[in-house]
Amino acid sequence: MSEKIKQADLEKIKDISYKLVAYNSKELKPSIFSTNKTELPNYGVVRNKIVSLEEAVKKSGLKSGMTISFHHHFRSGDKTIQLVMEVIDKLKIKDITIASSSFTDAHNFLIDYIKKGVVTGLQTSGCRDELGKFVSSGEFKNTMIIRSHGGRARAIESGDLKIDLAFIAASSSDEMGNCNGVIGQSACGSLGYGMVDAQYAAKTIIITDHLVDYPNKVISISQSLVDYVVVVDQIGDPNKIVSKEIRLTSAPKEEIIADFISKVIVNTELFKEGFSIQMGTGGASLSAIKTLTEHMVEKNIKSSFCLGGITGHQVNWLETGLTTALFDTQCFDISAVNSIAKNKNHIEISASMYANAQNKSPFVNKLDYVILSALEVDLNFNVNVITGSDGVIRGAQGGHPDTAQGAKITIVALPLIRGRMSCVVENVNSIVTPGNTVDVIVTDYGIAVNPNRQDIIESLQKANVKINTLQEMMEFAYSIVGKPKPIEYDYSKPVAVVEYRDGSIIDIIYKVKEID
Q: Distance (Å, rounded) from C-alpha 436 to C-alpha 405? A: 9
Is residue 259 domain-shared with residue 344, that is, in the same domain?
A: yes
The 10 Å CB-count burial string (b at 16+, else e) for 150-177 is bbbbbbbbbbbbbbbbbbbbbbbbbbbb
Domain boundary among 189, 210, 238: 238
Q: pLDDT for 150-199, tens place per residue?
A: 999 999 999 999 999 999 999 999 999 999 999 999 999 999 999 999 99
Whether 500 is covered by a domain: the verdict is no
Cα separation values, 176 from 63, 91, 119, 187, 215, Å: 25, 25, 30, 19, 8
Whether 19 is covered by a domain: the verdict is no
Q: Distance (Å, rounded) from C-alpha 422 to C-alpha 420? A: 7
Over 143-194, what HEC string results? Answer: CEEECCHHHHHHHHHHCCCCCCEEEEEECEECCCCCEECCCCCCCCCCCHHH
Q: What integer best gives the mean pLDDT of the chain?
A: 94
8 Å CB contact between 323 and 314 = yes
Is residue 258 domain-shared with residue 230, that is, in the same domain?
A: no
Residue 17: which pLDDT band, with cuts at 50, 70 and 90? confident
Decide if pLDDT at 249 tops 70.
no
Over residues 463-474, mean pLDDT = 98
Over residues 22-38, mean pLDDT = 82
Whether 316 is covered by a domain: the verdict is yes
Whether 404 is covered by a domain: the verdict is yes
Decide if pLDDT at 292 tops 60.
yes
Which runs of E-coded beta strand occur in 40-83?
Answer: 67-70
The helix (H) or strand (E) run that includes residue 372 is strand 369-373
Decide if pLDDT at 246 tops 70.
no
pLDDT at residue 316, rounded to an integer: 95
8 Å CB contact between 404 and 438 = yes
pLDDT at residue 286, rounded to an integer: 77
Q: pLDDT for 50-83, tens place per residue?
A: 999 999 999 999 999 999 999 999 999 999 999 9
Question: What residue numbers bound the domain in which 428 lies?
Answer: 252-486
Whether 31 is covered by a domain: the verdict is no
Nearest to 287 by CA among 245, 321, 257, 320: 257
Whether 294 is covered by a domain: the verdict is yes
8 Å CB contact between 77 and 237 = yes
Residue 230: which pLDDT band, with cuts at 50, 70 and 90? very high
Is residue 177 domain-shared with residue 285, that is, in the same domain?
A: no
Q: pLDDT for 489-507, tens place per residue?
A: 999 999 999 999 999 999 9
Decide if pLDDT at 308 tops 60.
yes
8 Å CB contact between 148 and 397 = yes
Least-confidence region, from 34-38, 371-375, 416-420, 447-451: 34-38
Is residue 213 domain-shared with residue 298, that is, in the same domain?
A: no
Which runs of E-coded beta strand occur in 209-325?
Answer: 228-231, 276-279, 305-310
DSSP letter string, 94-151? -SEEEEES---GGGTTHHHHHHTTSEEEEEESB--HHHHHHHHTT-S-S-EEE--HHH
Is residue 287 domain-shared with residue 226, that is, in the same domain?
A: no
Q: What is the DSSP letter of 320?
A: T
Is residue 66 domain-shared with residue 139, that is, in the same domain?
A: yes
The CATH number of whichever domain residue 173 belongs to comes to: 3.40.1080.10
Over residues 339-344, mean pLDDT = 97
Dihedral of CA 127/131/133/139: which sign? negative
Q: Which long-range contacts (CB under 8 A, 24 or more apart) does 116-121 make?
A: 116/89, 118/85, 118/88, 118/89, 118/93, 118/94, 119/85, 120/94, 120/95, 120/96, 121/67, 121/96, 121/97
Question: Which neighbouring-strand residues pair with 330?
Answer: 309
pLDDT at residue 32, rounded to an integer: 79
Over residues 122-135, mean pLDDT = 97
Is residue 171 domain-shared with residue 268, that is, in the same domain?
A: no
Q: What is the DSSP letter of 50?
A: B
Over residues 378-385, mean pLDDT = 98
Phi-psi category of 392—alpha, beta or left, where left has phi over 0 and alpha has psi -120 to 50?
Answer: beta
Domain boundary among 238, 261, 290: 238
Is residue 452 domain-shared with residue 388, that is, in the same domain?
A: yes
Over residues 191-214, mean pLDDT = 97
Is residue 232 domain-shared with residue 307, that is, in the same domain?
A: no
Question: Which neighbouring-strand residues pair with 441?
Answer: 412, 448
Q: What SS3 class is residue 249?
A: coil
Is residue 479 domain-shared with residue 389, that is, in the same domain?
A: yes
8 Å CB contact between 442 and 453 = no
Whether 14 is covered by a domain: the verdict is no
Over residues 266-271, mean pLDDT = 97
Whether 495 is covered by a domain: the verdict is no
Q: How many domains does the chain have?
A: 2
Nearest to 451 by CA among 462, 463, 439: 439
pTM of the model: 0.94
Q: Distance (Å, rounded) from C-alpha 182 to C-alpha 184? A: 7
* High-pLDDT (> 90) share of the chain, %: 87
pLDDT at residue 3, rounded to an integer: 75
Q: What is the CA radius of gyration of the chain?
A: 22
Is residue 118 domain-shared with residue 229, that is, in the same domain?
A: yes
